[in-house]
C-alpha cells in the first residue's frame, strides 16, 4: 500500500516499510547471498514471504538477482541503492540499543542467529595455524546443545554434528550469556569470574578471545536509561 505523499520519507517507506524488508537488507549487507543463508538469519520468515520480498527488492533495484552457475537457484547481491542503506540500518541498531533493549525477552535469544553471527565474527588472521576448531557447549539447550566452528584458512564452517576433529577451544556457556558477550554487555573476564563462562584451551587463545571473536558493531552502547540517569 502506497502512502501517496511526495515526502521522501514516505517514498522510502513505500519501498522499505513492509515487514521483514529491512531485516532482509540487513542480512544481505552482512554478506548473505543465497536463499538458504538469508533463511538462517531470519528463521521465522516463511519461504513464500522471503521469495516475495526478494523479488520485490530486485524489482525496486535494491538487489541484483543472479543465477547460480550450474544450479537452479539464485544469489542476491546489494546494489548501490542497497549499500547506501547501511548507515540507516546502523543508526536503527544504535537506536535499538539505546531505546528498545528493555523489551528483550528470553525468546529473543535465538541460538541459530547467534551462531550465524559467531561464524561472521571469527577473525581467522588472529588464530594460530591453518585450522582451529571451536566448540560451544550451551548449558541451557536440550536439542543440539553443542555447536562447532571449524576455521580452515579464511573459511569458517558451522556444524551441529561433531566434525570429528580435535577441539582447540571450548566455550561452556548459556545462550543468553554468549549473546551478552558478543553484544559487549559483559566482558569475558567478568563472565568467567562470575561462573557464567568456562573457557578451556591453550592460553594463547583463551587470553585474547575478543580478538578472534569480533564483537558486534553495537558492542558497548548503553541503554538510554543508563545514559540519562
Q: Using an 8 Å Cβ cutoff, are 164 and 143 in contact?
A: no
State the Cα angle at 189 between 148 and 163, rounded to 5°. 10
Cell of 119: 561464524
Cell of 164: 570429528
DSSP string, 39-79: HHH-TTS-HHHHHHHHHHHHHTTSEEEEEPTTSS-EEEEE-
**Chain segment 73-122, per-residue pLDDT in tens:** 999 999 999 999 999 999 999 999 999 988 889 999 999 999 999 999 99
**Domains of the chain with bracketed CATH:** 8-84 (1.10.10.10), 106-212 (3.30.1050.10)
* 154 or 2, greater pLDDT: 154
Q: How far is the CA of 197 from the CAs of 70, 117, 118, 170, in angstroms?
A: 45, 18, 16, 10
Q: Using an 8 Å Cβ cutoff, are 8 and 18 in contact?
A: no
What Rg value do the Cα atoms of the chain yield, rounded? Answer: 20
Q: Percent of the chain beyond pLDDT 70?
A: 99
Cell of 43: 528463521
Please, which residues have CB within 8 angstroms of residue 213's CB and are 6 or more apart in sequence? Answer: 118, 121, 122, 123, 182
**Sheet holding 169-173: strands in order across?**
155-159, 146-152, 131-138, 169-173, 197-200
**Judging by DSSP bridges, how do beta strands 146-152 and 155-159 pair with one another?**
antiparallel
Neighbouring-strand partners of residue 149? 134, 158
Q: Using an 8 Å Cβ cutoff, are 168 and 202 in contact?
A: yes
Residue 229 has pLDDT above 70, yes or no: no
Neighbouring-strand partners of residue 173? 138, 197
Local confidence band at 8 (pLDDT 50, 70, 90 cut-offs): very high
Cell of 44: 521465522
Give the pLDDT score at 138.
98
Residue 61 has pLDDT above 70, yes or no: yes
Amino acid at each position: 500500500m502506497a502512502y501517496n505523499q511526495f515526502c521522501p520519507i514516505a517514498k522510502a517507506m513505500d519501498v522499505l516499510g513492509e515487514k521483514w524488508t529491512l531485516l532482509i537488507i540487513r542480512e544481505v549487507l552482512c554478506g548473505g547471498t543465497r536463499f538458504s543463508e538469508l533463511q538462517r538469519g531470519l528463521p521465522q520468515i516463511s519461504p513464500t514471504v522471503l521469495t516475495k520480498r526478494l523479488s520485490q527488492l530486485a524489482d525496486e533495484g535494491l538487489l541484483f538477482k543472479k543465477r547460480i552457475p550450474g544450479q537452479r537457484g539464485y544469489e542476491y547481491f546489494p546494489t548501490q541503492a542497497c549499500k547506501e542503506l547501511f548507515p540507516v540500518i546502523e543508526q536503527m541498531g544504535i537506536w535499538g540499543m539505546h531505546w528498545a533493549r528493555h523489551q528483550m525477552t528470553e525468546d529473543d535469544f535465538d541460538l541459530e542467529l547467534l551462531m550465524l553471527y559467531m561464524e561472521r565474527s571469527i577473525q581467522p588472521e588472529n588464530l594460530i595455524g591453518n585450522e582451529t576448531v571451536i566448540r560451544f557447549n550451551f548449558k541451557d539447550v536440550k536439542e543440539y546443545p553443542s555447536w562447532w566452528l571449524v576455521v580452515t584458512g579464511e573459511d569458517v564452517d558451522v556444524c551441529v554434528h561433531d566434525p570429528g576433529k580435535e577441539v582447540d577451544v571450548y566455550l561452556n556457556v548459556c545462550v543468553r550469556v554468549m549473546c551478552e558477550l558478543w553484544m559487549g554487555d559483559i566482558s569475558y573476564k567478568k563472565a568467567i569470574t562470575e561462573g557464567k563462562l568456562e573457557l578451556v584451551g591453550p592460553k594463547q587463545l583463551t587470553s585474547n578471545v575478543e580478538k578472534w571473536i569480533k564483537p558486534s558493531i553495537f558492542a558497548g552502547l548503553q541503554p538510554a536509561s543508563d545514559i540519562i540517569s
